[in-house]
Structure 1
Amino acid sequence: MASETPLLFVPVGSNAARVFGMDARDRACRLATNAGFECADTVSDGRPVLLASMGYAWDPAWLKAMRGRPGAVLTLGGRPVMAHVTGDPSEATCALEQGEALEGFDALDAETTRLNYAELRKRERPFVLRLDPANPEPAERAAYDAAYKGVTDVLTLYLWRKPAFYLTRWAARAGLSPNFITLIGGILCALAFYLFWQGEYWLGTLSGFIFMVLDTVDGKLARVTGASSKWGEVFDHGIDLIHPPFWWWAWLHGLAAYGRPLEPLTATMVIWAIVIGYVAQRVIEGLFIKRFDGMHIHVWKRIDSQFRLITARRNPNMVILVGALLFSRPDIGLELVAWWTIVSLIFHAVRLAQASEVAARGQRIVSWLEA
């Protein structure tokens, strides 16, 4: 069926810039293909097409925004950047090549338009900027920042955001795939488990810390190079979802070797509080997504996004454990993680109940990012 035919994407012009080590035209095509377009070198007669000037770097979010706007032109400073053409593309192609204003199209101003990134849990103005062949770093930084989730934990959002940029750029230029980065991270994750099990907490923390940084790098590398895949997503998120309880179990086991074992009853209560609390929170998140049209519980109200910074997930829990380890009390650290898991579980359970009550009164549950 014609409606199932992907929209054509055609780069216009050329650019010698190498963004993340990739030819600008090749990267644009990979981003477009990853967004569901069919990339081609030339337009096809009678077929709608999204034309994109290679003189600019842009957020992939614009691809999705422009796909649903036939007859629209994305502009920066009045100059055309992209045009969704349904008729004769010759005039639009010429305008994009020459950087001249395109008449007869609905203008979408890149300097003022804001979009909601549902998958990245943020709302902001997607970037568009001139792509300088002699200095592609501004485009690389903008693309990296655009790939970052707006709602996540405090370590990911603030501590290693900049270091992960340089690692992402290095990995891209070295030709490493996101799945390879995930594999290396998975090995380090398993090594951290082993070291925790042996009571070697500082070495385990170092291995786990590197893994956590790589857990940021692999996803950003996939997005900035257009290399996202279903398998990669399952591989990455599968590791993220499964490993935390095993880390806390290993941490508990290592307390004996470290010389700070918990009493058997206390140890049982602590580990079950952490594991059951972790699983229950994940279930609550899933129920919220299913109940409210795919919306994450962390983006309902601003307080939910703020609590996501510190909620009892892997990274905030590691902050608690390392803080206790500084005082040579990994046992107290694990007990604190158990208590924080219970607090976080209660918070999310209450938020799910509150949202359900609001919906029961006939009010629509809308993310504060869309307000």
Structure 2
Amino acid sequence: MEAIDRANALAAQAGMEPALVAQPGRGVVLADMGWAWDPSWAKLIAASPGCALVRNGRPILAHLPAGSPVDPAIVAIQSGLVPPAMETIDADTAELSNTQLRKRERPFAMPLTTETVDAVERAAYDGSYKGVTDALTLYLWRRPAFYLTRWAALAGIKPNQVTAVGAALCVATFFLWLEGFFWTGMATGFAFMVLDTVDGKLARCTGQSSKWGNVFDHGVDLIHPPFWWWAWAEGLRVSGQGFERVYELMIVGTIVIAYILQRIIEGIFIKRFGMDIHVWKRADSLFRLVTARRNPNMAILLVALALGLPATGLELVALWTALSLLFHAVRIAQANEQRRSGRPVVSWLA
């Protein structure tokens, strides 16, 4: 993207109104377009009148309160000086807690030149990544998804278009497994999982996040897993490896019910304590790497399929889902007890 286009998109996402000229009587954020920055900085500065973000003493963003003289501030910034009487936030030392992306970090702020474009794009991509998520997303396809995100941005593809393609692959996986085509379904399933990473990163890196996109993306994520596991069980019957019907219902029922209850616990935790259950203690964040969500469950099924034991794989998914539910039930009980004892329940990332 052109630097000005990305800056304006990030400004709009932070609740500001992009403009080339300051309007009288309104506060204004000035930005040095020789720099690129993480969206977190834009949000922080937008909420901090009288403050300037600096790197190596040089102002990058500055929020002038309403009524402040703008022209002298512009001259100061162009000269590499902080406008008079402004407090500074040092990008070299400040750390921010990002509740949306479940991490505490020092967001990037980098000079933007022809030589630094690649480094800036990689920093923007890394900055858009959730700090607490599953191991496959965090480590396995982090690099491939970067190149797909970059290509999608260059091609002008919208995040919702990526989500739509992913949703089609998700549906294809369901029908392939339903007919017993496990390996083909694995391929479409993993392609969907990678695109599920790309759409969010593309939206955050280019400032195209939207409420509808969030509902579309997370709605697909939330609804499809139980259907996948049921389709796997039915595909076993088609391939002659199925369970006895009552036992199949027990296996699939365990997965679905435990999945729903775990999601309910997560929702209750957010409402009661104002944070995701996975960021309460460091142990919770580590458990999120492997907890029984779609991606870790897919890894279990993949290994079992490679060993020629697809039915055992589904049994292991049921067992792991039940154990993950037990872990989260214990954790919310412990959090409730901590609050009852008068001790605050706060995130280890805060």
Q: TM-score, normalised on structure 1?
A: 0.92
Report the AA paired with residue 137 of structure 1: D
1:241 aligns with 2:222: yes
Deviation by residue 1:14-46 (Cα, 9 ceiling, x = unmatched): xxxxxxxx1110110011101211110111122
Asked whether the equivalents of residues 141 and 194 of structure 2 are also in contact (C-alpha less than 8 Å), the reply is yes
SS state of the match for residue 349, structure 2? Answer: helix
- Mapping of residues 118-157 of structure 1, within 5 Å: 118-157=99-138
Q: Once superposed, what is the RMSD of the aligned Cα atoms?
A: 0.9
Match of 2:76 among 95, 117, 134: 95
Offset, 1:327: 1.1
- Match of 2:306? 326
Instruction: Measure the CA separation in 2 of the matches of 1:116 and 1:185.
Output: 30
Offset, 1:195: 0.7
Instruction: Measure the CA separation in 2 of the matches of 1:333 and 1:95.
Output: 64
Using the aligned pairs only, state the percent identity: 57
1:305 aligns with 2:285: yes
- Match of 1:356? 336
Asked whether the equivalents of residues 110 and 120 of structure 2 are also in contact (C-alpha less than 8 Å), the reply is yes
Asked whether the equivalents of residues 57 and 131 of structure 1 are also in contact (C-alpha less than 8 Å), the reply is yes
Asked whether the equivalents of residues 122 and 149 of structure 1 are also in contact (C-alpha less than 8 Å), the reply is yes
Match of 1:59 among 23, 38, 41: 38
Offset, 1:135: 4.1
- Match of 1:7? none
Offset, 1:101: 4.1
Offset, 1:213: 0.1
SS state of the match for residue 36, structure 1? Answer: coil
- Match of 2:58? 79
Asked whether the equivalents of residues 260 and 329 of structure 1 are also in contact (C-alpha less than 8 Å), the reply is no
Report the AA paired with residue 316 of structure 2: L
Instruction: Measure the CA separation in 1 of the matches of 2:82 and 2:6.
Output: 26
- Match of 2:12? 33
Asked whether the equivalents of residues 164 and 217 of structure 1 are also in contact (C-alpha less than 8 Å), the reply is yes
Deviation by residue 1:149-170 (Cα, 9 ceiling, x = unmatched): 0000000000000100000000
Instruction: Measure the CA separation in 1 of the matches of 2:214 and 2:177.
Output: 27
Instruction: Measure the CA separation in 2 of the matches of 1:109 and 1:218.
Output: 31
Deviation by residue 1:50-109 (Cα, 9 ceiling, x = unmatched): 111101000010112112221111111111101111211122211222323433211111
Asked whether the equivalents of residues 46 and 88 of structure 1 are also in contact (C-alpha less than 8 Å), the reply is no
Instruction: Measure the CA separation in 2 of the matches of 1:68 and 1:218.
Output: 27
- Mapping of residues 149-188 of structure 1, within 5 Å: 149-188=130-169
Greater alpha carbon shift after TM alignment, 259-268 vs 117-126? 259-268
Asked whether the equivalents of residues 14 and 46 of structure 2 are also in contact (C-alpha less than 8 Å), the reply is no
Could you list the runs of 4 or more consecutive aligned residues of structure 1 that deviate by over 6 angstroms after TM superposition? none
Instruction: Measure the CA separation in 1 of the matches of 2:54 and 2:87.
Output: 10
Pairs aligned (count) = 348
- Match of 1:104? 85
SS state of the match for residue 52, structure 2? Answer: strand
Report the AA paired with residue 300 of structure 1: W
